[in-house]
Amino acid sequence: MKKFLFLPFLLLAALTCGAQNVAEKKVASEIKSVTVFLNGAQINREAASSISAGTSVVSFDKLSPFIDEKSIQVQAEGDFTVLSVMHSLDYLNKEKRNDSLQNALKTVNTEVASKNARLEVLNEKESLLDKNKDLSGDNNAANLTQLKQAIDFYDRELTAIKEDFQQTQKEIEMLLKQKALLEKELANVSAIQDLPSGKISVKIESDRSTSANFKVSYVVKNAGWYPNYDLRAKNTSDPVQLKYKANVYQNTGNDWNNVKLKLSSGNPNQNGTAPEMETWYLNYPRNTIYAAQSRFIPGRNISSVSGTVIDEYGDPVPGVNVMVKGTTIGASTDFDGKYEISVPSRSQFLVFSFVGFKTEERPIINEHINVVMTEDANSLDEVVLIGYGVKGARVEKSPSREIKTTAVETNTTVEFEVEKPYSIPSNGEKLTVNLADYEIDASYEYYTVPKLEEKAYLIAKITNWQDYNLLEGETSLFYENTYVGKTVLDAGMLSDTLSVSLGQDSNISIDREKIDQFSSKKFIGSNKVDSREFSINIRNRKSEAVTIHVSDQVPVAAISAIEVKALELSGGKLNEKTGEVNWVIRLDPGTQKELKLQYEVKYPKSERVQLE
């Protein structure tokens, strides 16, 4: 359903009537710089034109159809006055962006057909050789000579055929990969190829003919970025190497060619209004209505989610942006519509968005979530007029310098200025930009919970991590030059120390065993007493000493009729409230240590208590 703003519509009608006799001049503009937000991007264009005396309209067309009209700003430099600025959608100026892709795909298909024809010819040649390899005759000496010649000929020709066959097959494989990439790009741009183009018209009044320079900026949808990291640890004595990367994508309808790129942690679509508390009224329960709340918490105990995204016709949708709601963690679907994303334990929802489709939100209820995207036909039906009345202002240009990335921290955001010009096509594909490389001091220790898993995990503890302007993001882990998996860099935590798991280490052996001879049950008066003992054996098979943090637990009584007493903890520290027992031990190479965990539980013998 079309949406109209009544007052702007009247302004548009008035301007249209008054502008019937006003000359319109279309001026080509060029994208000079782009500030990419976590969701959306600010486009900065520049243009120059001559201005006639009197009232005229300068139009910048072939813009993105996804402009947020409230964000449009026009700065004009010259001896004239800007009377008004109008934003509209030009349905008659649709750009067919896929013509070159279609032509390239036709060329590839023609080459594939030619190569397949070559394979058929080679098969025929081999068949012909096979049919004529039978030699017979009366003269044995002549037959031997002929046979040798035939064998040499057959060997030479068959070898050439086989080599030609293999080379042609390789060429076909490369062409098919190229075809798949072209089809993927066609699928990405097909959603916007028939959409109207955006248009910004500036009404100007000038006393004389003059020249003008324009700077036009606006925010568009269907663009954004999310961080990604590579964390490498060579050993447990050197600092960690952290590569900070940005995955940038855009499907705005305009290619960004050699633009100055800036990445911002801001989100222009986010509500900027601070919350206000309402009055808290106390009342009797009988006069109070309580809203029902679900006890299920999405995302709990789920560390990664994968799935497939398809459209209403069952076809996969490549290039869909998948974000963990409320974070900067993101991923995208591949050519087959498949995705995989790491999620923090506190995350509850995934958000799926792509140009031309309605944004979908799904609760993280399991590790596999499939999504069906539905088309959004109402996203471009709004026409709005915006009025300005300002003299032009000057903005100084900054000269290009050596290629580097600079982080600038403001009061509310962090911005990365990438001084090397980048070109990002409007196809939804991800461009990886290296933001920074850090060498960070870290302390290392191993962590294990034998009750849950008899494995040791290496933890790197990074202090003063707030100095590096990190955001939440997926992190690829490398230890001793080996890829060990993925995790989430939880930069939203409040602790001064950032703990990152580098994966399991099989050179540390752990065994947790229940000691039956010390686990017993006895009766004392009206009570029953159960005792349990566990032995935790840890062996260091590495060539260096290690520090290991070991966690286990004793039960905690929920009611006063149950009493729990810790008997033997091998020096471990007990948290009385949670029952958690922690040890920090150091093991030299080739050594082993045994920890004891012994406790007893007393409760009425008429009751049952489930123990380990």
pLDDT per residue as tens digits for the range 297-340: 555 567 789 999 998 888 888 888 899 888 888 888 887 889 98
Distance CA 70, CA 187 (A): 31
CB neighbour burial string for 502-520, b if at least 16 within 10 angstroms, e if fewer: bbbbeebebebeeeeeebe
Is pLDDT above 90 for 535? yes
Each domain of the chain, given as residue ranges in start order, spans 100-189, 509-604
Select the more confidently predicted residue: 506 or 297.
Answer: 506
Distance CA 175, CA 462 (A): 47
State the distance between the two ends of the chain, measured CA to CA, in whole angstroms: 62
Q: What is the CA radius of gyration of the chain?
A: 35
**Mean of pLDDT values over 90-113:** 75
**Mean of pLDDT values over 495-504:** 79
Q: At what angle do helices 140-189 and 99-131 cross, to 10 degrees?
A: 160
| pLDDT tens per residue across span 353-384 | 887 788 999 998 888 999 999 887 665 444 44
pLDDT over 70, % of the chain: 78
User: Starting from the edge strand earliest in sequence, which strands make up the sheet with 442-449, in order?
Assistant: 497-504, 453-463, 442-449, 546-553, 580-587, 573-574
**Mean of pLDDT values over 192-209:** 83
pLDDT at 292: 47
Angle at 264 between CA 259 and CA 267, to 5 degrees: 120
Is residue 136 very low, low, confident or very high in pLDDT (cuts 50, 70, 90)? low
Distance CA 274, CA 597 (A): 50
pLDDT at 552: 94
Distance CA 128, CA 134 (A): 12
Long-range contacts at 237-242 (CB < 8 A, ≥ 24 apart): 239/439, 239/440, 239/441, 239/442, 240/439, 240/440, 240/442, 240/460, 240/462, 240/500, 241/437, 241/438, 241/439, 242/437, 242/438, 242/439, 242/440, 242/468
Q: Could you tell me which residues come within 8 angstroms of residue 551 by beta carbon, excluding any fewer than 6 positions away?
A: 447, 448, 449, 580, 581, 582, 583
CATH of 509-604, one of 3.30.2170, 2.60.40, 1.10.1660, 3.90.930: 2.60.40
pLDDT at 26: 92
Long-range contacts at 162-170 (CB < 8 A, ≥ 24 apart): 164/118, 164/122, 165/119, 165/122, 168/115, 168/118, 168/119, 168/122, 169/119
| pLDDT tens per residue across span 50-73 | 999 999 999 999 999 889 888 999
pLDDT at 607: 84
Q: Could you tell me which residues come within 8 angstroms of residue 362 by beta carbon, excluding any fewer than 6 positions away?
A: 349, 350, 352, 369, 371
Distance CA 341, CA 330 (A): 7
pLDDT at 5: 36
Helix (H) or strand (E) holding 186: helix 140-189
| pLDDT tens per residue across span 1-28 | 333 333 343 344 444 444 456 788 999 9
Concatenated DSSP letters for 114-135?
HHHHHHHHHHHHHHHHHHT---
Tell me what the pLDDT averaged over the chain comes to: 80
Is pLDDT above 50 for 240? yes
Extract the tokens encoding 531.
């005792």
Is pLDDT above 90 for 512? yes
392 in Cβ contact with 76 (< 8 Å): yes
Is residue 461 very low, low, confident or very high in pLDDT (cuts 50, 70, 90)? confident
pLDDT at 295: 43
Is residue 389 very low, low, confident or very high in pLDDT (cuts 50, 70, 90)? very low
pLDDT at 484: 82
pLDDT at 395: 31
Is residue 598 very low, low, confident or very high in pLDDT (cuts 50, 70, 90)? very high
Distance CA 191, CA 318 (A): 11
Is pLDDT above 90 for 581? yes
**Mean of pLDDT values over 501-519:** 85
Is residue 187 very low, low, confident or very high in pLDDT (cuts 50, 70, 90)? low
Extract the tokens encoding 113.
């057909």
Is residue 403 very low, low, confident or very high in pLDDT (cuts 50, 70, 90)? very low
| pLDDT tens per residue across span 142-186 | 567 777 777 778 888 888 888 888 899 989 988 888 888 777 666
Is pLDDT above 60 for 33? yes
Three-class HEC string of 466-506:
HHHCCCCEEEEEEECCEEEEEEEECCCCCCCEEEEEEEECC
Distance CA 72, CA 45 (A): 11
Is residue 131 very low, low, confident or very high in pLDDT (cuts 50, 70, 90)? confident
The strand pair at 442-449 and 546-553 is best described as parallel
For tokens 């058929």, the residue is 120
229 in Cβ contact with 247 (< 8 Å): no
pLDDT at 4: 35
